Structure 1
Amino acid sequence: MESVQTLEPGGFTLADLDTLPDDGMRYELVDGQLLVTPAPLAIHQRVAGQLFLRLQPACPEELEVFFAPFDFRPNKQRSLQPDLLVCRSDDIGPRGVEFCPLLLAVEILSPSTRMTDLLLKRALYEEAGVTSYWLFDPEAEELTVLELVDGAYVERAVAKGNEIFQAALPFAVPVVPSELVRPVNAG
């Protein structure tokens, strides 16, 4: 009979994380704690797709845009998966971005992740030196833009509905929150 290994709470490692199944769930690791998030809802997927379609064509060739699941491992105790991210091409390793700060992390708020994204992930991205952190609330059609200044996030902009946010970081790109919640073919 095969022996089953159990882990003490808080005892998960990156090695343990790498053995988890590819089952549609999002697995993240924060200081030994495993965070498990169910597959995103349709609106979440739509926003991620629409935002990717805006970021990708504007992205300079030395940078890349990815969407979850794609690991950001800022240290040996953490593995996070922002909904979208922008990083330097040179910072990409076999398991994602390891030990290098992201230029942009984007989280799309949902009922199951709202508090994690607003509080925990904000603090983790800030500590990891992620230059820009965008939070998008699909229900409110609202984009909140935070930028790292002297090691702490400062709110740079809040764009709602049909307002245009003209990003400068990580590169120039206009974003209109109301357009992100529309189906691709709805223009």
Structure 2
Amino acid sequence: MTAALFGHDGPWTEEEYLALGETRQRVELFDGSLHVTPAPTPRHQRIARRLGNVLEPAAEAAGLELLEAVNVRLRPDRIPIPDVVITGPIDLDQVNIDAADVRLICEIVSPGNAATDRVLKMHYYAEARIPWYLLVEQETGSLHLYREKNGHHVEESTAAPGGLLELTEPVHVAIRPERLLD
């Protein structure tokens, strides 16, 4: 894959991006540019698994799907890989999940990549009209829930360790931050 990445001239198309196939790194497509990051840390992945464990029963009860680290097509040539996604019913064999099917996107902020999750992805998810965005801050242990409003994400609620974040949409669940983080 390295040769394909570095031997490429000009902007990447969605077709070229998809032709890369599965990789060990997270390779995301943002408007013709590839964003390549190493695999997440074990701590990051443990948080994602714990979050998925909390959200999955509520998603199933609502007739929704919970998925981790999948391609979400926000628009042509814009495909991020969020940490956790809740969708409506979808074809589980498709390479991309369409943004219109996504109900909630969760990102776990990595200290070395914080601006991407807090600024770039938040903007792109809101622009794609993803209704809910949950941000998990590893450094502070806090959870931030945002609701899409007129193409922007507006903070709906937060919870610090010792507190409780309650979601009523798209699923009914209460999350204690300390159960996700040490």
TM-score by length of 1: 0.87
SS of residue matched to 1:75: coil
On the 8 A contact 2:62/2:171 being kept in 1, the answer is: no
- Alignment partner, residue 7 of structure 1: 9
Map of 1:49 onto structure 2: 49
Corresponding residue number in structure 1 for 2:110: 110
What do residues 3-49 of structure 1 show as CA deviations (whole Å, max 9, x unaligned)? x86321xx101111112253310011111011111101111011100
| Closer, same or farther: CA 159–61 of 1 in aligned 2, 3 Å | closer
Judge conservation of contact 1:30–1:79 (CA < 8 Å) in 2.
yes
In 1, Cα distance between equivalents of 2:49 and 2:57: 13
Structure 1 unmatched ranges of 5 or more:
183-187
1:74–1:101: 8 Å Cα contact kept in structure 2? no
Cα distance in 1 for partners of 2:133, 2:105 equals: 5
> Distance between the aligned counterparts of 1:30 and 1:86, measured in 2?
21
| Further displaced range: 73-82 or 116-125 | 73-82
The 2-side partners of 1:178 and 1:108 are apart by 14
Identity %: 30
Does structure 1 conserve the Cα–Cα contact (< 8 Å) formed by 2:90 and 2:97? no
Displacement of 1:181 in angstroms is 1.5
1:1-187 to 2 correspondences below 5 Å: 6-8=8-10, 11-59=11-59, 60=61, 62-68=63-69, 70-90=70-90, 94-182=94-182
Question: 4+ residue stretches of structure 1 with deviation over 3 A?
Answer: 90-93
Q: Aligned in 2, Cα 1:7/1:101: closer, same or farther, shift over 3 Å?
A: farther
| Residues 1:113 and 1:29: Cα distance change in structure 2 (over 3 Å) | same
Q: How many angstroms does 1:152 deviate by?
A: 2.1
Greater relative contact order, per chain length (Cα 8 Å cut-off, separation 6+): 1
Gaps of 5+ in 2: none
**One-letter code aligned to 1:30:** F
Shift of residue 108 of structure 1? 0.3
Distance of 1:104 and 1:137 partners within structure 2: 17
- Are the counterparts in 2 of residues 91 and 98 from structure 1 also a CA contact under 8 Å? no
Looking at structure 2, the residues matched to 37 and 101 of structure 1 have their Cα atoms a distance apart, in angstroms, of 26
Determine the C-alpha separation between the residues in 2 that align with 1:32 and 1:148.
25
In 2: Cα distance, 1:35 partner to 1:47 partner: 22
- The superposition leaves residues 66-95 of structure 1 with CA deviations (integer Å, 9 ceiling, x where unpaired) of 001x11002111111110001111476611
Identify the residue that residue 185 of structure 1 maps to in structure 2. none
Q: Which protein is richer in helix relative to its size?
A: 2
**TM-score computed with the length of structure 2 as normaliser:** 0.90
Q: How many residues align?
A: 176
Q: How far 1:105 sits from its partner (Å)?
A: 0.6
